[in-house]
Structure 1
Amino acid sequence: MGRVRIFCRTRIAVYRKYCLGRGIDVKNLSLVEVINGIKPLDERKVEEAAQHLDQLTKPPGSLGRLEEVAKQLAGIRGEVKPELGRKAVIVMAGDHGVCEEGVSAFPAEVTPQMVLNFLHGGAAVNVLSRHTGADVVCVDIGVNAELEHQSLYSRKVRYGTANMAKGPAMTREEAERAVMVGVELVAELVGQGYGLFATGEMGIGNTTASAAILAVLGGADVVSAAGRGTGIDDARLQHKQAVIRRALEVNEPDAADPLGVLAKVGGLEIAGLVGVILGAAHHRCPVVIDGFISSAAALIAARLAPLSTAYMIASHLSQEQGHARLLEEIGLVPMLRMDMRLGEGTGAVLAFPLIEAAVKLVKEMATFADAGVSTGTEEH
């Protein structure tokens, strides 16, 4: 574990230097302070971007969602023609104790195996990230194994969650600590020049936790919230739904307490992604939401900090049952419909080029005046 510890100390030093240079007391940074530091979009820049878009050589609004994204980015960054910086998909990894109930088609051992696959560049998210020019940041926040790799961000809060069908998945303090892992990691990456983030995850059993979150915070019945995840058959799906019902009965999570919901029926990687989303909003950076699990994290972030939703961009509509309901609860509309359900951040990474395209249109497209093109409104 020596290399990992040295590597992590170096990264923590970078983070501390970044925060201290901006007057942030790293030791005393709290979740409440992070939430209170999230501000509304710059509406003046949103309006300026809208006016600029209407002056470009096209019918008003004809570029549809690209124009909406361009205006959102202007409000996020406070610039009509924003610089987004480097791109990163943050893949949080953690194990789930509920796997002992047999809710997945794959054993829990797959989680650490896939983490090593990410680190060796062999997973789908690695391929798509290379294709789109993004970096994969792989974080061990709760894998139930010892992992060692020079590129691993080792931020383990605990070795997997407890079985939520028998009691809370983790303590409230552990959930908050996991959220702060994501917050602090974003601050560190912002200090390294990253400004466009995507959410990714790995954790066998995490669709079970995400469905439980949807059932509580979205008021969905368990049958509509819980899908097939890794591809389970009808019998196992019914068993999975029964396990979720038992977890809700045992823990009695309160929808008015999103952090408590996260602690009782969530996951460490989900908590880490909550922090990534809140951290991105705190630093006025756009964050691209991936599929079902990432959207469960986004719903918790939205309930903790409603202003954070303005910084979210939904990438795609997953095939996983319940994803559309999650997006509806948050108020997000997906950019893509690709019938994907892999997770890892794969859908979010695919949205990066569209987001960059929106910025390029604002920066590079000619106005009617520049091109000498008639707007059709001139007097004759």
Structure 2
Amino acid sequence: MLQEQLQHKIDFKTKPLGSLGDLEKLALQIGLVQNNLTPQLNHPHLIVFAADHGIAKEGVSAYPAEVTPQMVLNFVNQGAAINVFCKQNKITLKVVDAGVNFDFKENPNIIHHKVAYSTQSFLSQKAITTEELEKCFQYSEQLIDDIAKTGCNIIGFGEMGIGNTSSATMIINALSNIQLKDVVGRGTGLDDAGLQNKLNILQKAKDFHGEITAPKEVLQTFGGFEIAQMTGAMLSAFQKNMLIMVDGFIASAAFLVAYHINPSIKKNAIFCHQSDEAGHRLLLEYLEVNPLLKLSLRVGEGTGCALAYPLIQSAVHFLNEMASFESAGVSNQ
């Protein structure tokens, strides 16, 4: 049985039993996903999805909506944190316009998957129409098909969208047992008054829509186009048996939808870090997963995935290259 073979291989490396901690669990997971005693990481990719949110008009963010297209151009111009970390770790970065309120004029460095120029405000209606949600999933499948052709077998996802912590908060509240007040956080940096205002607005939205539990309906009601396309991309990546690097608060909300659609996706997921956003720790506990890093990050963009990637590499390298007691002639007594 492969699991027993992998565990034996891990246990008989030249080290005290279990002494590489979570790296050992990670090596086992990767070996099982790839069904291989010598797994490999090939052509890592990271996709940043960007979109604007109707809920941003309600004052739930410390930043104006204009920041979304400005940051997309910053990604394209190699100026953001995610650019630096992807370049450092030789990860191919792709930027997707999923629904930004701006015309990028067919910029060749942007994948043009715009569904609309913004979602609607979920304070008074569903954020996304049924047709728009279907288009999000179609775009995602197309994108992952194209990336799979490069030989990629590990992929991470990031996001940019002013207002998207509000969407993520509502999704997490609807699909978990976590109270709204415990999920809502400061996002881009709200002060105490702004945080209370955000909670009040989100509570009004919750009261307006009532209890929703079907994952796609939750996504349609509260999601941004970037969250919807990320959800679809995670599901498509799982169908290709890729390892899925899950970033912070927003990406974990997208994963939560994907998980409720197909619970098996969890076996391919690597949770890269615990965000500084209030509800992320609670969501990770709900999913019963342990993140690789805890660095008080809250920048989004997939930065946690890029930073965690060297640790994922280390898990594979020790499994494949570290001597065993037998090969090294070391006593394991």
Task: Normalising by structure 2, report the TM-score.
Answer: 0.97
Equivalent residue, structure 2, for 1:374: 331
| Alpha-carbon distance in 2 for matches of 1:351, 1:279 | 22
Task: Tell whether 2:83 aligns with 1:118.
Answer: no
SS in 1 for 2:317: helix
Tell me which residue corresponds to 1:188: 146
The match for 2:174 is 216
Residue 331 of structure 2 corresponds to residue 348 of structure 1: no
Which of the pair has the greater relative contact order for Cα pairs under 8 Å at 6+ separation?
2
* Residue in 1 that maps onto 2:118: 160
Corresponding position of 1:328: 285
**Residues 46-55 or 113-122, more deviating:** 46-55
The residue matched to 1:353 in structure 2 has which SS?
Answer: helix
1:32 corresponds in structure 2 to none
Match of 2:184 among 209, 216, 226: 226
Aligned partner of residue 317 in structure 1, secondary structure: coil
Query: Using a 3 Å threshold, how does the CA distance of structure 1 residues 176 and 219 change in structure 2: closer, same or farther?
Result: farther
Deviation at 1:190, TM superposition (A): 1.1
For 1:276 and 1:329, how far apart are their aligned partners in 2? 22
- Measured in 2, the distance between the counterparts of 1:199 and 1:45 equals 29
What is the Cα deviation at residue 89 of structure 1?
A: 1.1
The percentage of counterpart residues that share the same residue type is 40
Q: Distance in 1 between matches of 2:132 and 2:277?
A: 28
In the alignment, the residues of structure 2 paired with residue 369 and residue 196 of structure 1 have an alpha-carbon distance, to the nearest angstrom, of 32
* 1:268 aligned partner, one-letter code: F
Matched residues, number: 332
- Given the alignment of the two structures, is residue 278 of structure 1 paired with residue 235 of structure 2, yes or no? yes
Deviation by residue 1:220-276 (Cα, 9 ceiling, x = unmatched) = 222111100000111111111111112222223511x00000000111111111122
Alpha-carbon displacement from aligned partner over 1:3-41 (angstroms, at most 9, x marks no partner): xxxxxxxxxxxxxxxxxxxxxxxxxxxxxxxxxxxxxxx
Secondary structure of the residue aligned to 1:245 is: helix
Q: Which runs of 5+ in 1 are unaligned?
A: 1-43
Task: After superposition, give the CA deviation of every residue in 1:111-136 in whole Å (9 maximum; x if it has no partner).
Answer: 01100100111000001111111111
Residue identity matched to 1:206: N
Q: Which amino acid aligns with 2:88?
A: H
Distance (whole Å) between structure 2 residues aligned to residue 330 and residue 322 of structure 1: 12
Q: Kindly report which structure 2 residues correspond to 1:165-314, keeping only aligned pairs within 5 A, or say none.
A: 165-255=123-213, 257-314=214-271
In the alignment, the residues of structure 1 paired with residue 67 and residue 273 of structure 2 have an alpha-carbon distance, to the nearest angstrom, of 25
Q: 2:153 aligns to what SS in structure 1? A: strand
TM-score (norm 1): 0.85
Task: Measure how far apart 1:97 and its partner are.
Answer: 0.4
Describe the shift of the 1:209–1:171 C-alpha distance in structure 2 as closer, same or farther (beyond 3 A): same
Kept in 2, the 8 Å contact 1:172–1:259? The answer is no
Q: Which amino acid aligns with 1:183?
A: E
Provide, for residues 324-352 of structure 1, a one-character-per-residue CA deviation record: whole Å limited to 9, x for no partner. 11112222211111011111001111110
Q: CA deviation at 1:147?
A: 1.1
CA distance in 2 between partners of 1:270 and 1:279 (Å): 14
1:101 counterpart = 2:58? yes
Matched ranges for 1:116-155 at <5 A: 116-148=73-105, 149-155=107-113
Distance apart, 1:197 and its partner CA: 0.7
Distance apart, 1:172 and its partner CA: 2.5
Task: Say what the alpha-carbon RMSD is for the aligned residues.
Answer: 1.2
Q: Encode CA deviations 1:158-195: one digit per residue, 9 max, x unaligned.
A: 21100010110011332232133223312210111211
Letter of the structure 2 residue corresponding to residue 119 of structure 1: V
Whole-angstrom distance in 1 between the partners of 2:313 and 2:91:
12
In the TM superposition, what are the counterparts of 1:16-165 in structure 2 within 5 Å?
Answer: 44-148=1-105, 149-165=107-123
Q: Distance in 2 between matches of 1:126 and 1:101?
A: 31
Report the AA paired with residue 232 of structure 1. L
Q: Return the letter of the residue paired with 1:277.
A: M
2:272 is the alignment partner of 1:318: no
**Aligned equivalents of 2:142, 2:40: Cα separation in 1:** 22
CA distance in 1, matches of 2:220, 2:212: 11
